[in-house]
Amino acid sequence: MGMSVTISEAAEADAEQILKLQYLCYQSEAELYGDYSIEPLTQSLDSIKAELTAGTVLVARLGDEVIASVRGTVDAEGTARIGKLIVHPRLQRHGLGGRLLDAVERQLGAGGAAKSFQLRSGHRSEQNLQLYRKHGYAPVKTQQVNDRLTVVTLSKDSDARVYVASA
């Protein structure tokens, strides 16, 4: 690749690319759990546009193409909730997810806003769980959603942020 990947805040104009990428990325999750009605596959464009204004949405670009994204918010108690960390399937396992995770942690933690970070993953999503553990997250809760899915909530304190060199 002759271009370098850049990470920046998403703009409203990115919403459609984020939606298409999200749909592509969550196909494997839907297959893994046998459920194609999961929220990332049914989310509307208007809903993504609303998320762009309600919280922090970062994108990674290769040229003009959005190739990865992550979202986060900080609640009144200082808990930063990170979600929908997606990387184009062709570009996974090259450190981009970790770079985005570090970037959203920095953004949400700026000025001491976030006291802790929290994210969720399905129990069978081993690559996701491995990435989160590598970045200092530990399981704090599990919730059985149905007979196919248990959601694992992982957390870490903001002072426990781990910076991993990108591959």
Instruction: Indicate whether 166 pLDDT > 80.
Output: no
- Token readout for 42 is 């049914």
- Token readout for 108 is 């949400």
pLDDT in tens, 18-53: 999 999 999 999 999 998 999 999 999 999 999 999
Instruction: Indicate whether 165 pLDDT > 60.
Output: no
Residue 165 lies in a domain: no
pLDDT in tens, 84-102: 999 999 999 999 999 999 9
Residue 167 lies in a domain: no
Which pLDDT belongs to residue 3?
A: 67
Which pLDDT belongs to residue 1?
A: 45
Residue 108 lies in a domain: yes
Cα separation, 14 vs 94, whole angstroms: 23
Number of domains in the chain: 1
Q: Strand order in 5-9's β-sheet? A: 5-9, 56-62, 65-74, 79-87, 116-122, 150-157, 138-144
DSSP-derived letter for residue 71 is: E
Tell me what the mean pLDDT of segment 109-117 comes to.
90
Range of the domain at 67: 5-160
Residue 166 lies in a domain: no
pLDDT in tens, 121-153: 999 999 999 999 999 999 999 999 888 888 999
Amino acid at 126: E
Which pLDDT belongs to residue 160?
A: 55
User: In Å, what is the CA distance from 130 to each residue of 42, 69, 97, 122, 165?
Assistant: 26, 18, 12, 12, 16
Contact indicator for 16, 47 with CB cutoff of 8 Å: no
- Token readout for 6 is 């850049």
Instruction: Indicate whether 2 pLDDT > 60.
Output: no
Cα separation, 110 vs 116, whole angstroms: 12
Confidence band, pLDDT 50/70/90 cuts, at residue 163? very low
Tell me what the mean pLDDT of segment 57-86 comes to.
96
- The CATH number that applies at residue 56 is 3.40.630.30
Cα separation, 122 vs 140, whole angstroms: 14
Closest-CA residue to 89 (of 2, 34, 39, 20): 20
